[in-house]
């Protein structure tokens, strides 16, 4: 499986000539979803869900389909009958040849006064886990953890403890649009020293073989 990092929390996975894209939101490239055979969205916040990007991807490939939670599916299902699938915690499905397990139910707490929206994470091919905006620990081994390094809802000690709890073979940064380049070495040093797993980050557009 080939992983390509897109801007912020969007990633592209390729295997056997098929392409899966997760979270092509408003902070990702305008064409982040184009070329996808399957799309997954973790939750409704605009940095993860952009209706225009999803519509462009679904229009460009009439065979493409979307799997997501109800709050997102309701906004697109009427326009794409049979191509938008609602999923929740515990569900399993196959999308464009990728086996996917759904883990998690709620977005991390931003502030107690703000209601928590639904959030799901996706374990792809029993290997790579994208948690969306939550520090969900799946009840299955994880080889590659897509790691939300900086967000309004987390701090570095929580991110470090999350890596320790998941115990992946490797952690790769996502949710990094809020983090200035000047501060990246501080985060890198803390995660490398304290996370307990090899940690790396990819520049948008760069790829790695998993």
Q: All domains of the chain, ordered by start, with CATH?
A: 2-200 (3.60.15.10)
Mean pLDDT value across residues 57-67: 98
* Nearest Cα to Cα of residue 150 among 161, 137, 159, 163: 159
Mean pLDDT value across residues 53-73: 98
Q: State the DSSP code for 115.
A: P
Mean pLDDT value across residues 111-117: 96
Structure tokens belonging to residue 161? 């403890």
User: What pLDDT shows up at residue 118?
Assistant: 97
pLDDT digits (tens, 9 = 90+) for 66-86: 999 999 999 999 999 999 999
Mean pLDDT value across residues 186-200: 96
Structure tokens belonging to residue 37? 């055979």
Mean pLDDT value across residues 51-66: 98
Mean pLDDT value across residues 5-14: 98
CA atoms of 93 and 107, how far apart (whole Å): 22
As a whole number, the mean pLDDT across the chain is 97
pTM: 0.97
Percentages (nearest 5) of helix, strand, coil residues in the chain? 20, 30, 55
């Amino acid at each position: 499986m080939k992983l390509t990092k897109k801007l912020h929390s969007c990633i592209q996975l390729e295997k056997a000539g098929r392409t899966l894209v997760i979270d092509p939101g408003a902070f990702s490239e305008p064409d982040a979803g184009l070329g996808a055979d399957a799309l997954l969205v973790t939750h409704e916040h605009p940095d993860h869900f952009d209706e225009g990007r999803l519509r462009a991807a679904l229009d460009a490939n009439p065979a493409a389909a979307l799997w997501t939670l109800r709050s997102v599916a309701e906004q697109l299902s009427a326009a794409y009958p049979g191509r938008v699938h609602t999923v929740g915690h515990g569900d399993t499905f196959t999308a464009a040849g990728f086996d996917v397990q759904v883990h998690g139910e709620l977005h991390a707490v931003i502030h107690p006064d703000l209601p928590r929206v639904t959030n799901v994470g996706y374990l792809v091919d029993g290997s790579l886990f994208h948690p969306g905006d939550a520090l969900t620990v799946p009840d299955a081994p994880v080889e590659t953890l897509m790691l939300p390094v900086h967000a309004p809802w987390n701090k570095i000690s929580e991110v470090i403890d999350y890596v320790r709890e998941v115990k992946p073979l490797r952690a790769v940064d996502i949710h990094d649009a809020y983090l200035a380049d000047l501060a990246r070495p501080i985060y890198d040093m803390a995660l490398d020293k304290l996370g307990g797993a090899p940690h790396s980050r990819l520049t948008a557009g760069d790829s790695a073989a998993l």
